[in-house]
Structure 1
Amino acid sequence: MENKLDTKYTYTEKKDTRSGFGDGLLEAGRRNENVVALCADLIGSLKMGAFQKEFPERFFQMGISEANMIGAAAGLTIGGKIPFTGTFANFSTGRVYDQIRQSVAYSEKNVKICASHAGLTLGEDGATHQILEDIGMMKMLPNMTVINPCDYNQTKAATIAIAEHEGPVYLRFGRPKWPIFTPENQEFEIGKAWKMIEGTDVTIFATGHLVWEAVEAEAILRAEGISVELINIHTIKPLDTEAILKSVAKTGCAVSAEEHQFNGGLNDSIAQTLIRNQPAPLEFIGVDDSFGESGKPEELLEKYGLNAKNIVEAAKRAISRK
């Protein structure tokens, strides 16, 4: 399906970001024999089957015992292994926060916590399986790197990159099929924002699935004569503050967009960066102190104000406040 908007980024295929993780994990395993994988009874949902098939002796089915999985992963690092844990984002964080804090972050263990079905776009499974607080929870932990890629290609590249990164990582991705619009075989640099489109009137910072919504918003705004600088913040911690400040110094205002609560996530990080360095008008796109619900991904983005239309409106509000 060809994108109908006149965007600078188009797509011909949709694929889930969790498949990017699965394919990236397999490639990381082929490159480094120390890469191992642990799964909490969700091999199919996490797309870990190919790794299990090719490296059965390096795959551990832990069952529905997420806390034990994190503890075992931390132990495996002592022997030089690079463990990737896999379950839903809700169960990767809230259910096991104590184990992550004590056994991984505090202990600085080289564990890669890989979290699928994040945000609202999990869809029909509803609020008990969706999570909108995970970025904040993980970002607050010292020593933890937090990454939220935007499409299949970027998720695959991020998965390969974190295998080479020493230290705890939280990698967040999703369930729905989403446009593939970033380059294949791209280089993924942890902590480095990607300026996708250069502009002068307003900066849009976006992460995860909302990067595509921001791409569509840029096309709408450009058609109205508004010049947007679009920056993909795939790494939320460490944050590329230099790129943020440089862009806002040029445009004078910004929008921050994420599939997460206002509090604790990218919005919070952008706001703190601007307040501490160069205050400027900033509008948030996110969920305002609410749980999710069941529904199709597109319907939920519409209801909770996370789609391209909402980003367009936020950009205009930010510009009006300059």
Structure 2
Amino acid sequence: MHTPLGATRRAAIIVLLAAALIMSLRTAVEPTRAEDTYPSRSIRLVVPFIAGSPVDALARVVAQDLSHRLGHTVVIENQSGAGGTIGAKAVAHADPDGHTLLFIINSHLYGLYSDPGYDPIRSFAPVAAIAQWSHVLVVRADFPAADLPGLVARAKAHPGTVTFGYGLNTPPQILGETLKHVAGVDIRSIPYRGGAQAVQDLLAGRIDMNFGATSTLLPLIREGRLKAIAFTGAKRSADLPALPTVAEAGYPQIAFDPDAWAAILAPAGTPATVVGRLNREINDALGSSELRASLVKLGYEPRRMSLDELSLFLAAEARKWPPLASAAGLRTN
């Protein structure tokens, strides 16, 4: 018995419609993963410090490389103020979709602000470690001391007259305050919105001393416009091999090794697949010879961590820094 041609066509159409229905149901049950469509637009990387600072420069180098890897622009957005808490709060309350990230340094965990509007650990998802570094202690070129013991002796002989400038809620602040505490000296502290402003006043002779990143201060030291008197690293700086470490100068208490590091966070609740991809891309970038060379040239030591390693590291640092800040006499705001 022969089946009419029309019936055959109708049966084929029914089969196709059924297959299409099954596929649509499967798509509804198994939606596209966030990682498969991420990123879908440009990414904001919030740097909670002023433009032109050493931390800003580090973030921009990383953002440029990451833009190429992700296929979308990573835009630096400086939101400075209140020791970095304004920018951190903005990211903590941003949509957790991976398109807003936070570039932090270890001062994020100092605990100097009692109610910043976020929890420095629970409000964020760890994404990637970036780098670590130490600082150079410099004084103005005509300061009457050539080394750290000489600086301490000058401060003891003239209490309250030596001035120290720093960016508020930054590693240089805790370094300077710790030095004052362990040396038992009265050095007047002068806060700035950022370290770059402190360096400008140091060059102008309006303040006497500053702790700064090698990348910023090395040209000024070589030009003779500033005088380097100590390095905070565990070993001497490759760029300034004749410069003693703070430990060699008699003050191992300010050799935190490292005294500064940087990392990237996302708002809590960001999909694990997105965070995982960012961690892989950033670690790959930090392993490339090109980015490593750029960071080393700026005075930074690249640092790669898995997500588990970074989570444990941040938890340990959150326990480490508040007591140090308290011992140094830094007040909670």
TM-score, length-normalised on structure 1? Answer: 0.31
Larger Rg: 2
Larger RCO: Structure 1 or Structure 2 (Cα < 8 Å, ≥ 6 residues apart)? 2
